[in-house]
Amino acid sequence: MGKIVAVTGNEACAYALKQINPDVCAAYPITPATDLMQRFSGYVSNGQVDTELVLVESEHSAMSACIGAAAAGGRVATATSSQGLALMWEMLYIAAGTRLPIVMPLVNRALSAPLNIHGDHSDGMGARDTGWIQIYSENAQEAYDNLVQSFRIAEHLEIRVPAMVCMDGFIVSHSIERVEYIDDADVKNFVGKFQAVHPLLDLEHPKSYGPLILTDLYHEYKRAQHEVMTKVPGVVLEVAAEFEKMTGRKYGLFEEYRLEDAEIAIVVMSSAAGTTKDIIDQYREKGVKVGLLKPRMFRPFPFTQIAEALKHVNAIAVLDRADSFGGYGPLFSEIAGAVMSMDHKPAMINKIFGLGGRDYLPEQAEQVINELIKISETGKVGAIKEYIGVRE
């Protein structure tokens, strides 16, 4: 058994990085991820890690430095939020396309404009097609556990792609929670020694990276990139099974909560899942068969497995903490894609909630469940997409 502590999500992730001891970390501070890197920089300055901490002039430079260090043959990490992730945009594609297993905690925060420093999923959802693995965390314990697992996942020789571990800004990053740390030796043994693949600093086997592919091979390269991503779910489950043996904590591609016999279901990610579970328990006591599906791995999206988990329900509400202006919410669109493969297609509604750090309240979960009950009884759907918790 590890050590039980009371820490914030940022502190837990910084401690995980300390235990993993990456070779290089390039960083530029941004709220609400600043505290994470500040705490890790303390471990560097105190000599508790061997990490080369590169302080750069922007987030674009941070990811550029990470790419160079990873290509050279190092285990590499960074962290960011919101506009910082947006400034990395160009380099995110290069990290993924070059198959460099960089690991990055992403403290989810709203994107400008107008400027907002509080939590929603706009940043992560905007980066969903960059080729990075995306894993979302409900609380500080999951953020810590997911970060430890993500090094094993990203560095797996079958895939070798970068991964971001997401947690809700301030709600998780700055709230103090009970977290069970794994023993340092167990983390070190679990993550294992880094194995470089085609490192540029292997001077006995010189090589170069060619960043230019024209029409003769670019299409084939992108298909190969897709095929690599199809292997990720299996690796995620393999690593999770080993992690469960070590800690007793079970993880999958998603979590099912009271879903097995449910007639209606809510799909929601990250911290809002905890509130939703409490309200589901209350409705279960009233005899309402409602369940929850909480996606953990958003990229690559496990369409087949989620369709199987939801195939028996009559109505689904997908709650998005981000919007796709002119379209449905990002999570809703993915769930709708999964539902299309079902013989029995449940009714679906999309609720946009919690933007810019707006609280997600128990009564909003109640509102959604009550609407699902009516849809299940009547088969009639009103507005498919709707904002909830809005000041009218």
Comparing 127-136, 167-176, 209-218, which segment has the lowest mean pLDDT? Answer: 209-218
Given the candidates 3.40.50.920, 3.40.50.970, 3.40.640.10, 3.20.20.70, the CATH classification of the domain at 254-387 is 3.40.50.920
Q: Average pLDDT for residues 93-112, to the nearest whole number?
A: 97
H-assigned helices in the chain: 9-20, 34-45, 59-72, 82-87, 89-97, 122-126, 140-154, 184-191, 218-229, 232-247, 272-285, 303-310, 330-339, 362-378
β-sheet bridge partners, residue 351: 319, 386
Q: How far is CA 40 from the centre of its chain?
A: 20
- Fold of the domain built from segment(s) 3-247: Rossmann fold (3.40.50)
pLDDT at 208: 84
DSSP letter string, 326-381? TS--HHHHHHHHHHTT-SS--EEEEEE--GGG----HHHHHHHHHHHHHHHHH---
If you average pLDDT over every residue of the chain, what do you get?
97
Q: Answer for the pair 379, 345: CB distance below 8 angstroms, yes or no.
A: no
pLDDT score for 392: 85
Same fold, 3-247 and 254-387: yes
Whether the link from the prior residue into 346 is cis, omega within 30° of 0, is: no
pLDDT digits (tens, 9 = 90+) for 328-354: 999 999 999 999 989 989 999 999 999
Q: pLDDT-based confidence at 209, cuts 50/70/90? A: confident
- Cα angle for residues 41, 24, 3 (degrees, 5° grid): 55
pLDDT surpasses 70 at 271: yes
Residue type present at position 325: F
The proportion of the chain whose per-residue pLDDT surpasses 90, expressed as a percent, equals 97
The amino acid at 292:
L
Q: Bin 270: left if φ > 0, else alpha if -120 < ψ < 50, else beta.
A: left
How many percent of the chain have pLDDT more than 70? 100
pLDDT at 1 over 70: no
Question: What's 52's DSSP letter?
Answer: E
6-36: pLDDT as tens digits: 999 999 999 999 999 999 999 999 999 999 9
How far is residue 309's CA from residue 258's CA, in Å, rounded to a whole number? 11
pLDDT at residue 384 in the model: 97
Q: CA 91 → CA 29, 97, 266, 305, distances in Å?
A: 17, 10, 35, 31
Q: Per the structure block, which two tokens stand in for 107?
A: 């403290």
Is the model's pLDDT at 159 over the cut of 80? yes
User: Distance (Å, rounded) from C-alpha 339 to C-alpha 55?
Assistant: 45
pLDDT tens for residues 293-333?
A: 999 999 999 999 999 999 999 999 999 999 999 999 999 99
Cα–Cα distance for residue pair 58/45, rounded to 1 Å: 21
pLDDT of amino acid 68? 96
What are the domain boundaries of the chain?
3-247, 254-387
Q: 140-154 and 184-191 helices cross at what angle (nearest 10)?
A: 40
- The pLDDT score that the predictor gives to residue 256 is 98
